[in-house]
Each structure stands twice: as structure tokens, then as C-alpha cells.
Amino acid sequence: MQPKLIIHGGAGNSIESKGGKEPARQSLHAVVEAVYAMLLQGESSIDAVVKACQMLEDDPRFNAGTGSVLQSDGQIRMSASVMDGDRQSFSGVINASRLKNPITLAQTLQGSKDRVLSDYGSAELMRELAVPIFNPLTDERLAEWVEERKNNFQSNMASVSVGTIGAVALDRNGRICAGTSTGGRGFERIGRVSDSAMPAGNYASKIAGVSCTGVGEDIIDEGFATRVVVRVTDGMSLKDAVDKSFAEARSRDRDFAAICLDVTGEIAWGKTCEALFAAYHDGVAIGYTL
């Protein structure tokens, strides 16, 4: 089967956020190029998705891993999940801190009977695995927090910035995987949980996979990723499932976007916001959603 891949670096209502469109496209291009080569070499969809998410987490342009936004108390808490569609197995970490790649910890939990861990559980697992302590804070994110603190955190970071990252891949064996990672909404209440470590925001089966980005509460309220996959499983085409689901979300004034891929190799995406920073490889060439 011809491998397919789609990734995103977030969504929002400002195309010029995080340095503008072209720098974001260049970052996404580098990831697609490297990860699609893995798929061509026969790597599994889960390894490809984790690698894509690691590369995006390591790019301070995006709100995941290095460059994650701060919560209202000035701390960084990150969430990530992986869903292996072939086994329909979901794993994730919620509000993990002091590590470089939350997606790697989420992948590790694929082999555990306890597959979703909170902040304390994630810290214990990191100690067990001897995961190195890492500070993902950047000067830019700290400056944003200091400035917003003056206004008692009245801004909604999710509405303006490139944020949550994610990837969906189809490998040579027809296996689908989805992965999503985030630093959160930004300036939120301590302990707030995002959609990125829930099936609402990251879901895959043998039939289709979806990764979401945007306002997590809106994604959770729609149960969006799961909704799209279920509709495709029930016989709807991926495009029709995405279009219908976004029409419903738009009618309720939701603010988010999503990337999608099915077992036939069809690629789709949608948004209710102005911009979706995403790139894909359709088996022929690299394309972009902007």
C-alpha cells in the first residue's frame, strides 16, 4: 500500500502568528520529508507518527514540548496521546512536566495495562524509566506570560497562536496511527486538561485516524475525532464525514481544526478558524493546507 501522511502545527485566527506562514510551512515541510521517507522504508505508522510529533515538539515555533505555553501559575504542563488504530489502543499523559517529548512517554504506555496517566503518574513513570529532566521553557513564552500577567490573563492564547501539534499516518501494511501533543491553551487554570490526551481530540481505528487542534473544550464538546472515525466506519466517505462534522461544529460556534486520513489513503482536513498550519504527503508530492 502507498503510505500517506498528514501533520499539523496548530490552528488559530492569525496566519501571521509564530513568525508567519512561510517559516511555519518550512518547519512542517522538513518533518513531512523526513517522516515520509521512514514510511517508504517500511517503518510502522506508530513509529512514523511518534517521530513526527517528536520533531514538532522539538521546534520552539509550536506549542508542544519545547516552546509550550505557560499555565496561569507560570508552570508548563503538557499532554499527549497516541492511538494505534490497528490494535485500537489509546495511551496518553496529562499535564506532564519537565520532559522533552511527552509523545514518547505516551507511546511507552502502549505496552502498559494503565495507559493514561496524570501529572503525578507521569512523573513516577519518568523516574522509573530514568527519563532525563528537561526544561521546555523558551524566552518568548516566558515574555508572553509576564506580559499577560499584567492583564490578569484575560487573553485567549488558543485563538491567536500556532498551537497543538499532531500527525496521522498510513503505513505500507495499511495500518493507521494518530498522535497529538500540546502545551495547553495558555494561561489556563492550574490543572486544566486538554483534549489532546482524550479520544475526543486524538482517535484512530483500522478505518481512519484524526488529530485535532484548537480550543480543547470545543473539541471535547463535539467528541470530534471519534465522531469522524465512527461516521467513516459506518460507511460515510472521509470527506463527507469531515464536512458534516465541521458543519455541525460551525453551527455551534466552535473554534478548532482537524487533520484526517483513512485506510483507502484519502486525506482530509477542516477548520472553523481562519488558519490550519498543516502539511501532507499524498504519495506523489508534499502539499499544504495554507
Looking up cell 506523489 gives 284
Alpha helices in the chain (DSSP H): 21-40, 45-57, 102-108, 119-129, 139-150, 216-222, 224-233, 238-251
| Contact between residue 63 and residue 134 where contact means Cβ atoms under 8 Å apart | no
| Nearest residue to 181 via CA among 71, 49, 287 | 49
Give the amino acid at 183: G
Cβ neighbors of 207 (< 8 A, separation 6 or more) are: 85, 176, 229, 232, 233, 262, 263
Query: Is 289 known to be catalytic?
Result: no
CA distance from start to end of the chain: 28
Q: Are 34 and 51 in contact (CB under 8 A)?
A: yes
Contact 4, 271 (CB under 8 A): no
Of 180, 161, 169, 188, the C-alpha closest to 258 is 180
- For every residue of 45-109, DSSP letters joined together read HHHHHHHHHHHHHT-TTSSSSTTPPP-TTS---EEEEEEETTTTEEEEEEEE-S-S-HHHHHHHG
Say which of 104, 164, 226, 272 is annotated catalytic: 164
Catalytic residues: 164
